[in-house]
Amino acid sequence: MSAPNQTKIPSYDAIVIGAGISGMYFLYRLRQMGMTALGFEAGSDVGGTWYWNRYPGARFDSESYSYGYSFSEEVLEEWEWSEHFSAQPETLRYLNYVADKFDLRRDIRFDTRVSSAHYDPTRAIWDIETEAGDRASARFLLMAVGVLSEPYIPEFPGADTFRGEKWHTSTWPHHPVDLSERRVGVIGTGATAVQMITEVAKNVGDLTVFQRTPNYCKPLRNGPIDSATQAEIKASYAEIFDKCRRSFGGFIHDFEHCSALDVSEEERLEFYERLWNERGFGFWLGSYIDILSDLDANETVSKFVREKIRERIDDPEVAKLLTPTNHPFGTKRVPLESGYYEAYNRKNVHLVDLHRTPIECFTEIGITTSAAEYEFDVIIYATGFDAVTGALNRIDIRGEQGLALKDKWADGPSTMLGIQTVGFPNMFITAGPHNASSFCNVPRCLEQNVEWITDCIAYMRDNQYSRIEATPEAEAEWTDHVLESADATLFPKTDSWFMGANIPGKKRVFLNYVGGAQNFRARCDEVAAKNYEGFSLR
């Protein structure tokens, strides 16, 4: 951080980094509490994930009406989702409408990246500096930087020599892109690629997909919301949100309390078939209780999906490549699709198996694998994100003893409730590592995070506390609990962003909380009810 100059540094009760779903809600809540707050946002407007991810096909895989904010009766009454699973432009319009309604932009500095945040123990204040050199300070530092906001671009030799255009899915150009006569290469087949490939394939000159690992995708079954359903939704918001609050993942779906192995094969197949034909995530998060914890139970559903995939692809060789066999169903995030497999039945869509023929380098004209050279006009990285910790680590965050957050977490994160970490007083994180939000119908958990944190700040103000920090004992206990909960499932067996395993050199450790969003909420409520047990307040 540069030396102090003579200009007065603006000071606030809180600084909020990020103007996505939780950053916006923080600003709303703090203002309601009569506190001063300033938000910083790298993008040019509000929306976070929905501001950045503009690739064709980007849409919810949560039911739209379970995704929006629940805190305002007026917003619930005024806003109407047009589809069961809203597409990105509509979601961004929604977030803009909320920002307008509550006049949030006046407290946000856009096009501004925060480069450092240092805690000064003598003043008990956080000092932040932006990439442009602007500075500000605050009692509370509220990190609302998102789970999947730090794009990951693998280092392929020669990438800079490619003469065509290339971009990551999360930085899709803001202007319309016409690919109808262009040769396009896509690297990656995760949930983003599945949505994007399906749309791009409909109007592209020629499309080549470079796949390392196939996924188990499930049909989304989207559709418009008719006016009768719209009225029904509006009349039942209380029940919808209550259902989400009590469920494992903050969705309207929840697990059956029955093992996949305790029923006959006939009953099981009938059940899978029913869930398969329903909308959304029920097939993943509304299935038998042990499909994500018992390999034999899991194999019943993995086999079911493999058969469903094969049925849809004309070429048996391509079908084989698109059928996952190296990991259990649901241990990577399940992509929801609307015609993904049929895209590969088009003559101008090709699939390259990177296991058999890895990428060797980029060239001026395209990509060379161990078997062939491919020519492209455009290359799209659908290669995911340095998830959960990436956006935090990008900022030079230093705590009480000058310790850098990324050094503290070099061997994996440790937190209390994923919300605070020892050594970083008065810093709160939404959707941080080991927080239920990073494995949740995100806004449902983010609202809970923001409400818990702002209630805690109100409690501190009412009781004249100026400093809060998790205790080492509480942090160790929570971290053990998080890792034990993960070890009781099949998730650690699979390489994915859940495990940090998608980033070369990143510690392979579970980054989310899979003990259930409803249990996370209960634990947070208990901590608050016991005057913030597990935190030291002074």
Q: Toward ligand N01, which CB reaches closer, 123 or 355?
A: 355
Supply 79's token pair: 């806003």
The answer to whether 188 touches 153, Cβ cutoff 8 Å, is: no
* 68 is an interface residue for ligand N01 by CB under 6 A: no
CA distance 101 to 95: 10
Burial class (CB in 10 A: 0-12, 13-18, 19+), 276: middle
Under rule CB under 6 A, residue 435 binds ligand N01? no
Query: For residues 65-77, b (16+ Cβ closer than 10 Å) or e, as one string?
Result: bbbbbbeeeebbe
Interface with ligand N01, residue 47, by CB under 6 A? no
Cα separation, 131 vs 406, in Å, equals: 19
Under the criterion CB under 6 A, does residue 148 sit at the interface with ligand N01? yes
- The rounded Cα 233 to chain-centroid distance in angstroms is 25
CB of 75 to ligand N01, least distance (A): 20
**Which of 137/195 has CB closer to ligand N01?**
195
Q: Which of 188, 250, 399, 515 binds ligand N01 (CB under 6 A)?
A: 188
**Contact map string, positions 208 to 237, toward ligand N01, x by CB under 6 A:** ----xx------------------------
Closest by alpha carbon to 40, among 101, 129, 150? 129
The separation between CA 95 and the C-alpha centre of its own chain, rounded to angstroms, equals 17
Q: Given the rule CB under 6 A, which of 29-37, 310-318, 378-386, 459-467 is the region that contacts ligand N01?
A: 378-386
**Backbone φ/ψ region at 202: left (φ over 0), alpha (ψ -120 to 50), beta:** alpha
| Nearest to ligand N01 of 188, 425 (CB atom) | 188
**Could you tell me how many helices (H) and strands (E) the chain has, helices first?**
18, 20
Residue 437 lies near ligand N01 (rule: CB under 6 A): no
Using CB under 6 A as the binding rule, whether residue 192 contacts ligand N01 is answered as yes
Q: What's the token pair of residue 395?
A: 């900022």
Subset of 277-336 contacting ligand N01 (CB under 6 A): 333
Q: Contact between 48 and ligand N01 (CB under 6 A)?
A: no
Among 86, 149, 195, 448, the residue binding ligand N01 under the rule CB under 6 A is 195
CA distances from residue 87 to 90, 100, 223, 528 in whole angstroms, order as listed:
6, 20, 11, 37
Please return the burial class of 226, using the count of CB atoms within 10 Å of its CB with bins 0-12, 13-18 and 19+: exposed
Within positions 381 to 420, which residues make up the interface with ligand N01, using CB under 6 A?
Answer: 382-385
Write the single-letter amino acid at 522.
A
CA distance 133 to 128: 10
Nearer to ligand N01, 138 or 193 (CB): 193
Stretch binding ligand N01 (CB under 6 A), from 158-166, 184-192, 464-472, 517-525: 184-192
- How many residues form the binding site for ligand N01 (CB under 6 A)? 22
| 440 makes contact with ligand N01 (CB under 6 A) | no
Burial label, 482 (beta-carbon count in 10 A; 0-12, 13-18, 19+): buried
86 binds ligand N01, rule: CB under 6 A: no
Residue 20 or 384 with smaller CB distance to ligand N01? 384
Q: Does 271 bind ligand N01 (CB under 6 A)?
A: no
Answer for which of 87, 191, 453, 468 binds ligand N01 (CB under 6 A) is 191
DSSP state of 250: S
Closest distance between ligand N01 and the C-beta of residue 24, in Å?
A: 17
* The one among 159, 354, 403, 528 contacting ligand N01 by CB under 6 A: 354
The residue range among 380-388, 411-419, 466-474, 520-528 that interacts with ligand N01, by the rule CB under 6 A, is 380-388
Query: Contact residues for ligand N01 (CB under 6 A)?
Result: 60-61, 148, 154, 187-193, 195, 212-213, 333, 354, 382-385, 497, 502
